[in-house]
Amino acid sequence: MLFLCTGNACRSQMAEGWAKELASDLIKIKSACIEIHGKNQYAINTMAEVGIDISAQESIRVNGEMLEWSDVLVTLCDNAEEQCPVVNAHIVKLHLPIADPAKIKGTEKEILAEFCEARDKIKSRVEYVLEKIAASH
Q: Kindly report, residue by residue over 48-89, the tens digit of the pLDDT.
A: 999 999 999 998 999 888 888 888 999 998 888 888 766 677
Q: Are 134 and 26 in contact (CB under 8 A)?
A: no
pTM of the model: 0.92
- Output the CA torsion 102→24→133→137 (10° steps): 170
Looking at the predicted structure, is the pLDDT value of residue 37 above 90? no
* Total domain count, the chain: 1
Q: Which residues are catalytic?
A: 5, 77, 84
Give percent of the chain with pLDDT exceeding 90: 61
Check residues 87 and 128 and name the one with the higher pLDDT. Answer: 128
Partner residues linked to 109 by β-bridges: none
Q: Average pLDDT of 106-122? A: 96
Among 67-71, 96-100, 110-114, which stretch is predicted with the lowest mean pLDDT? 67-71
Of 41, 24, 26, 25, nearest in space to 13 by CA: 41
Q: In this predicted structure, what is the pLDDT of residue 133?
A: 86
Residue 27 has pLDDT above 90, yes or no: no
First to last CA, the chain: 15
* CATH number of the domain to which 38 belongs: 3.40.50.2300
Which residues form the domain of 119? 2-135
Question: What tens digit of pLDDT does each residue of 2-12 get?
Answer: 999 988 889 99
- pLDDT (0 to 100) of residue 67: 84
